[in-house]
Amino acid sequence: MYEPPIFLIVRRFTVGGLERVVLTLANAIAERGREVHVVVLEPVGMSAMITELHEDVRLHVLTGGQRSRLAQLRRLTRHGIVHLHLAEGVLPAVRWALRGNPAVFVSYHSDYGPVRGPAKNLLDRVITRRSHGVIAVSEAVRDFCVDQVRLPPDLVTVIENAVPEPADGGVRVDRTGALTLVALATVNPHKNYPGLIEGFALARRRGHAVRLRIIGDGPRLAEAFDTAQRLSVNGDIEWYGSLWQASVVNALLGSSDVFVSASRNEGLPMSVLEGLQHGLPMILSDIAPHREAAGEAAVYFDSEVPEQFAARVEELMERDARQRRAESARGRAARFAASAFVDRHLDLYGSFPSTTSEDSR
């Protein structure tokens, strides 16, 4: 039976959770023998993470002016299943270019409520409700789609993110003598790194022997660094920048003691799922997606109250407390298995069969 090719569309391919979702999905589909393409709409901000694509995934980086790139996109995808991963949720010109395509799906990777107004949601609703399916990465994101964008509830399917089991890439990182906290995220405003560092500094001032690893880069890195300098804790922070290679990231996670995040809003963060795979207890800001992902594997704090973060660090200084959370983390990791994640996507694609056939190509 003819199976149409699958096109996963991203605006840019930088280092981030959205790109990690696309990598996981594309590689697993290719490993199952399906034809799958990754299409990058804007040839800027490219990163080495794209080299982790499976050799059978077909990569297209569109070039030229906007009109030319949209024409390329339309020609390339006209007989395939299209799955948009656009972060912002909607790009009108892209959706117009795909008009008439028999199967267009849209993923929402976050609750964009804090950075959107009614006008953007209205435009999104008008365009996206014509899609064949909307995928929300968590129940919190589904609520955003239904309550704020006001998409029809039966259009939205929740498929929680997943990460592959960490493989041994031969990279080794020694453990330190101190309790090592690790944060893994692009340094964007909503990730609230200055607040995280303030809480970390307070824990240090209370006499706790802790270190912090920050894996990530982004527009607010200078602000985060300045905060560390001002609070005299820069010597207790390991800055790793925009690491992408899974073997290196896994080695850093595997040699850490506690995963931390002070983020103000999320979808279903891939970094938290990666921490669960390593059995890490967690200190997370108290937002719905964090609780949905980590459950009892984490202790929670108000992202705007550094004193609460320091108190949670103190709570997990005790080995027994960490062990209880670690056991929960290992149990929850199975919920986010990559095989089930891919199965659900392929089932959704298959529920809207393409009107094209192999002969029409």
Given the DSSP bridges, would you call strands 133-136 and 104-108 parallel, antiparallel or unpaired?
A: parallel
- Among residues of the chain, what percentage have pLDDT more than 90? 74
Residue 46 confidence (pLDDT) above 80: no
Q: Between 266 and 99, where is the model more confident?
A: 266
Give domain status of residue 247, yes or no: yes
Give domain status of residue 171, yes or no: no
pLDDT tens digits, 163-213: 888 877 767 777 877 899 999 999 999 999 999 999 999 999 999 999 999
Residue 47 confidence (pLDDT) above 80: no
Work out the average pLDDT over 237-250.
91
Edge-to-edge strands, sheet with 104-108: 58-61, 36-40, 6-10, 81-85, 104-108, 133-136, 156-158
pLDDT of the residue at 165: 84
295 plus 258 within the same structural domain: yes
Residue among 270, 250, 257, 244 at smallest CA distance from 169: 250
How would residue 301 be classed by pLDDT, with cut points 50, 70 and 90?
very high
62 plus 156 within the same structural domain: yes
53 plus 128 within the same structural domain: yes
How would residue 315 be classed by pLDDT, with cut points 50, 70 and 90?
very high
46 plus 84 within the same structural domain: yes
Degrees (nearest 5) of the Cα angle 227, 284, 243?
Answer: 65
211 plus 121 within the same structural domain: no
Q: What contacts 321, CB < 8 A, 6 or more positions away?
A: 281, 315
- 275-305 per-residue burial string, b: 16 or more CB within 10 A, e: under 16: bbbbbbbbbbbebbbbebbbbebbbbbebee
Give domain status of residue 361, yes or no: no
Residue among 251, 232, 112, 240 at smallest CA distance from 183: 240
Residue 117 confidence (pLDDT) above 90: no
How would residue 244 be classed by pLDDT, with cut points 50, 70 and 90?
confident
Instruction: Give the amino acid at 32.
Output: R
| Tokens found for residue 47 | 């990163």
Give domain status of residue 201, yes or no: yes
Work out the average pLDDT over 214-237.
96
198 plus 85 within the same structural domain: no
Question: What CA–CA distance (Å, rounded) separates 21 from 18?
Answer: 5
237 plus 264 within the same structural domain: yes
Judge contact between 221 and 188, C-beta under 8 A: no
pLDDT of the residue at 134: 94
Degrees (nearest 5) of the Cα angle 47, 49, 51?
Answer: 105
118 plus 74 within the same structural domain: yes
Residue among 5, 62, 21, 23 at smallest CA distance from 39: 62
Its pTM stands at: 0.89
The count of structural domains within the chain is 2
Q: What contacts 292, CB < 8 A, 6 or more positions away?
A: 138, 139, 140, 160, 268
139 plus 196 within the same structural domain: no
Residue 361 confidence (pLDDT) above 70: no
Give domain status of residue 301, yes or no: yes
132 plus 197 within the same structural domain: no
> At 17, which CATH number?
3.40.50.2000
pLDDT of the residue at 15: 87
Judge contact between 267 and 289, C-beta under 8 A: yes
Give domain status of residue 87, yes or no: yes
Host domain of residue 196: 179-335
